[in-house]
């Protein structure tokens, strides 16, 4: 059709010129001239130029035109007879009434007044002037169109389109705008924005247009000045969103490029995307994580060997090697002729369209898929629900934590798993159960923690973060604690000595490893015993030293509190000495700090030290009159925390426990409590119960690790002790 279109247009134009020339001038030369002129111009594919020239010529020569003043119907019939042949192949003679005449002869019917003649001539002059102007404007437009390629090349460079597809897209855009101008008129409202045109191409049913549209969208999203507007339009265009996400599931080899570009577009859209509104979106995103490694991980008893597949893999490997050899050969030749090509490269850099960038490791589909999932999880909790519901998605993500995976894919997988395991609410419980149920996850995390490769601190930090989150579940906490290699690696990372100029990644790894150990030590006698066994005799001493550092105070105090609670029988005499030496620092921290979270963990540690070494605790309270200051701070903390928060839900519980332990070691403390109005503070706690205080910690709005003893029971016991000893 592209070949026949100019031929058909030329034949139609030639037929019109022959009829017009024969009826007007009867000149063969005129007909031949116009046919040659039309043929030359039509060879360039532009029919507007001969049409424009014809308008100018007609306006200048003003050919004879039939003017019928009295009978319009007769004039119409005459025009029809001129334009069409009869069945015999000849023109029928025109039967023009005497009341009509040819305007070119300037003859008028009898009785025509002079004013009428003047009006007719004036109207004809106006008509021909309009035709002349119109033809001249068409000629100017055609001439300008010849040079429009310059503006199109500039637009390609400004849009940063690459390869020949950029020029192809701009040419399509040019034709698209031209059709709007022709069909709608100059003053009509037109959509001339290139981003809208790219979205229209993406929504089309043509594979070629879809590829060009996704290429344009990806190019626009890489520029700051077009990214925000395009993201807003894409977020409000359901059709384009559905089409872009559906492209992620196109697994055919010929769709590799469009799938990759669509994944890059969806990565940018995932920051504000709710996949629940797009059916089948999670399955398409999950398909990005499918690789051939899943088949190679099967048991030899279950793997189906395909000789054809193996032969194709060998051919592909050979082809890649030959390609590299060819490239090296070309590079050698280019270096020899570099002085010749220097000038040409300088000129072509300014005028040529930039080439497509080479796809690098960051452009792999699994990496893009995990980036999409991570941004979806950060965007909306409902997206986490869809991730949890997707079939085999969690196992696919965990599969990339294997030691055989590239570093960048392993890091992306660990980061995504860390985000999913840190999800609150019921969906967080489901996600952590799915993750902990995978048979290879803990083994892979153990390998990550055991790697001594320089620069892998971030991966170790992510692995420790995942273990910390998984340890919320009691069964998983026990399973992790049973793997001594994990406990040993976490202790080594937590107690590692760094130089004064240690980096942020080193400190972050140290804190996260401590958090994981503190979580594993909660409500677990076995894990606490394993930690003391793996760390050696210096573990308690290191923890007491770290309490003095503000960066590690909360983590070390939490871990030491759990060890005192569940493994005090394993403490050696030197461990007890270290605890006694740190007591003064802990008590001063309680009285000096104004941060509720730090005060909570320090009071909890103080109460456990009081329970483990009561004599040393009593001696320390008498030093420098710290007893009265401590009691006042405890009463003040009870009165100021009538509404416990998720950040420190157990602050009133640990204060009540501290009061009970203090009166157990010395009944005389009851008088001090009574003088500082501890009874009134305890009554306030009894009158303002909260469900928040029934849990050890919170993740989102979900309470975790519920206490077996209600706070009201502890308050009743504390009040009873005070009343008994005061009397």
Q: Does the pLDDT value for residue 682 go beyond 50?
A: yes
> How far apart (Å, rounded) are the C-alpha atoms in residues 207 and 253?
14
Under a CB-based contact definition with an 8 Å cutoff, are residues 424 and 699 in contact?
yes
Q: Does the pLDDT value for residue 230 go beyond 50?
A: yes
> How far apart (Å, rounded) are the C-alpha atoms in residues 78 and 180?
36
pLDDT > 90: percent of the chain: 35
Give backbone dihedrals phi and psi of 113, rounded to 5 degrees, phi first. Answer: -80, 165
Give the residue-averaged pLDDT of 149-169.
Answer: 82
Q: How confident is the model at residue 325 (pLDDT cuts 50, 70, 90)?
A: very low
Q: Does the pLDDT value for residue 468 go beyond 50?
A: yes
Of 608 and 166, more confident? 608
Of 332 and 189, more confident? 189
pLDDT at 241: 92
> How far apart (Å, rounded) are the C-alpha atoms in residues 185 and 415?
55
pLDDT > 70: percent of the chain: 73
Q: Does the pLDDT value for residue 311 go beyond 60?
A: no
pLDDT tens per residue across span 45-60: 556 666 777 777 777 7
Under a CB-based contact definition with an 8 Å cutoff, are residues 536 and 530 in contact?
no
Q: How confident is the model at residue 10 (pLDDT cuts 50, 70, 90)?
A: low
Q: Does the pLDDT value for residue 352 go beyond 80?
A: no
pLDDT at 71: 42
pLDDT at 66: 39
pLDDT at 456: 81
| Tokens coding 633 | 């701070």
Of 511 and 667, more confident? 511
User: Residue 705: in which H helix or E strand, if any?
Assistant: strand 702-706
Of 323 and 113, more confident? 113
pLDDT at 326: 41
Q: Minimal CA–CA distance to 600: which of 548, 546, 636, 637?
A: 637
pLDDT tens per residue across span 486-497: 999 999 999 987
Q: Does the pLDDT value for residue 360 go beyond 80?
A: no
- Mean pLDDT, the chain, whole residue set: 79
Under a CB-based contact definition with an 8 Å cutoff, are residues 651 and 617 in contact?
no
pLDDT tens per residue across span 246-295: 999 998 888 989 999 999 999 999 988 888 888 889 999 999 998 655 54
Give the residue-averaged pLDDT of 167-175.
Answer: 87
Give the residue-averaged pLDDT of 708-723.
Answer: 90
Give the residue-averaged pLDDT of 547-576.
Answer: 91
Q: Minimal CA–CA distance to 65: which of 19, 37, 106?
A: 106
pLDDT at 469: 95
pLDDT tens per residue across span 604-644: 999 999 999 999 998 888 876 788 889 999 999 999 888 88
Under a CB-based contact definition with an 8 Å cutoff, are residues 59 and 47 in contact?
no
Give the residue-averaged pLDDT of 565-594.
Answer: 90
DSSP, collapsed to helix, strand or coil, labels residue 135 as helix
Please, which residues have CB within 8 angstroms of residue 526's CB and are 6 or more apart in sequence?
A: 478, 481, 482
| Tokens coding 628 | 């009265």
Q: How confident is the model at residue 222 (pLDDT cuts 50, 70, 90)?
A: confident
The residue written with tokens 């849009």 in the block is 159
Q: How confident is the model at residue 449 (pLDDT cuts 50, 70, 90)?
A: very high
Q: Does the pLDDT value for residue 431 go beyond 90?
A: yes
Residue 357 falls in which region: left (phi positive, over 0), alpha (psi -120 to 50) or beta = beta
Instruction: List the chain domain ranges.
Output: 4-149
Q: Does the pLDDT value for residue 245 go beyond 90?
A: yes
Q: How confident is the model at residue 654 (pLDDT cuts 50, 70, 90)?
A: very high
Q: How confident is the model at residue 65 (pLDDT cuts 50, 70, 90)?
A: very low
Give backbone dihedrals phi and psi of 382, rounded to 5 degrees, phi first. Answer: -65, -30
Q: Does the pLDDT value for residue 538 go beyond 70?
A: yes
Q: Where are the alpha helices (DSSP H) in 380-523?
A: 381-389, 393-399, 407-421, 425-436, 441-450, 457-470, 474-481, 484-495, 504-521
| Tokens coding 248 | 């992620």
Q: How confident is the model at residue 527 (pLDDT cuts 50, 70, 90)?
A: very high
User: Residue 102: in which H helix or E strand, if any?
Assistant: strand 101-102
């Amino acid at each position: 059709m592209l070949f026949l279109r100019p031929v058909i247009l030329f034949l139609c134009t030639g037929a019109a010129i022959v009829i017009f020339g024969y009826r007007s001038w009867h000149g063969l030369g005129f007909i031949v001239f116009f046919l040659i002129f039309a043929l030359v111009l039509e060879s360039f594919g532009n029919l507007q130029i001969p049409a424009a020239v014809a308008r100018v010529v007609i306006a200048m020569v003003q050919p004879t035109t039939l003017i019928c003043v009295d009978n319009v119907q007769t004039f119409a019939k005459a025009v029809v007879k001129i334009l069409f042949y009869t069945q015999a192949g000849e023109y029928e003679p025109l039967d023009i009434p005497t009341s009509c005449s040819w305007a070119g002869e300037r003859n008028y019917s009898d009785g025509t007044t002079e004013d009428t003649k003047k009006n007719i001539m004036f109207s004809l002059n106006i008509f021909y002037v309009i035709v002349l102007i119109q033809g001249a404007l068409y000629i100017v437009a055609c001439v300008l169109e010849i040079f429009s390629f310059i503006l199109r090349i500039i637009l390609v460079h400004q849009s940063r389109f690459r390869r020949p597809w950029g020029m192809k897209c701009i040419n399509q855009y040019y034709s698209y705008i031209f059709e709007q101008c022709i069909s709608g008129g100059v003053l009509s409202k037109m959509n001339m924005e290139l981003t809208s045109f790219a979205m229209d191409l993406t929504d089309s049913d043509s594979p070629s247009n879809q590829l060009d549209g996704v290429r344009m969208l990806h190019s626009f999203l890489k520029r700051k000045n077009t990214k925000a507007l395009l993201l807003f339009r894409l977020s409000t265009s359901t059709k384009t969103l559905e089409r872009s996400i559906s492209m992620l599931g196109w697994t055919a080899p010929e769709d590799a490029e469009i799938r990759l570009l669509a994944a890059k577009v969806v990565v940018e859209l995932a920051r504000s995307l709710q996949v629940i509104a797009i059916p089948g979106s999670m399955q398409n995103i999950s398909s990005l994580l499918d690789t051939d490694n899943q088949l190679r991980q099967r048991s030899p008893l279950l793997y189906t060997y395909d000789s054809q597949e193996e032969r194709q893999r060998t051919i592909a490997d050979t082809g890649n090697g030959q390609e590299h050899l060819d490239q090296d050969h070309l590079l050698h030749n280019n270096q020899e002729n570099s002085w010749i090509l220097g000038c040409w490269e300088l000129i072509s850099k300014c005028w040529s369209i930039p080439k497509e960038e080479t796809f690098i490791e960051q452009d792999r589909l699994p990496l893009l898929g995990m980036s999409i999932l991570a941004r979806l999880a950060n965007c909306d909790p409902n997206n986490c629900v869809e991730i949890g519901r997707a079939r085999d998605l969690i196992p696919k993500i965990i599969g990339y934590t294997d030691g055989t995976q590239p570093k960048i894919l392993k890091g992306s997988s660990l980061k995504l798993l860390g985000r999913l395991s840190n999800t609150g609410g019921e969906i967080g419980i489901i996600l952590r159960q799915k993750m902990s149920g995978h048979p290879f996850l803990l083994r892979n995390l153990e390998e990550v923690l055991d790697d001594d490769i320089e620069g892998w601190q971030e991966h170790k930090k992510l692995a420790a973060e995942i273990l910390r989150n998984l340890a919320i579940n009691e069964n998983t906490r026990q399973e992790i604690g049973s793997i001594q290699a994990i406990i040993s690696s976490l202790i080594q990372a937590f107690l590692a000595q760094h130089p004064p100029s240690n980096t942020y990644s080193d400190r972050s790894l140290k804190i996260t490893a401590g958090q994981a150990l503190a979580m594993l030590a909660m409500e677990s006698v076995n894990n606490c015993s394993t930690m003391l066994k793996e760390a050696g005799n210096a573990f308690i001493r290191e923890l007491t030293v770290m309490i003095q550092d503000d960066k590690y105070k909360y983590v070390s105090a939490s871990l030491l509190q759990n060890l005192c609670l569940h493994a005090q029988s394993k403490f050696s005499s030197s461990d007890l000495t270290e605890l006694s030496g740190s007591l003064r620092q802990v008590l001063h921290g309680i009285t000096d700090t104004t941060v509720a979270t730090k005060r909570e963990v320090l009071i909890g540690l103080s109460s456990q030290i009081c329970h483990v070494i009561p004599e040393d605790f009593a001696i320390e309270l008498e030093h420098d009159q710290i007893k009265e200051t401590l009691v006042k701070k405890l009463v003040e903390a009870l009165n100021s925390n009538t509404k416990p928060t998720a950040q420190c839900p157990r602050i009133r519980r640990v204060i009540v426990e501290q009061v009970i332990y203090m009166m157990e070691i010395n009944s005389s403390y009851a008088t001090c409590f009574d003088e500082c109005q501890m009874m009134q503070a305890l009554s306030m706690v009894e009158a303002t119960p909260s469900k928040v205080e029934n849990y050890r910690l919170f993740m989102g709005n979900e309470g975790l690790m519920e206490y077996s003893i209600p706070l009201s029971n502890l308050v009743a016991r504390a009040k009873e002790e005070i009343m008994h000893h005061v009397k």
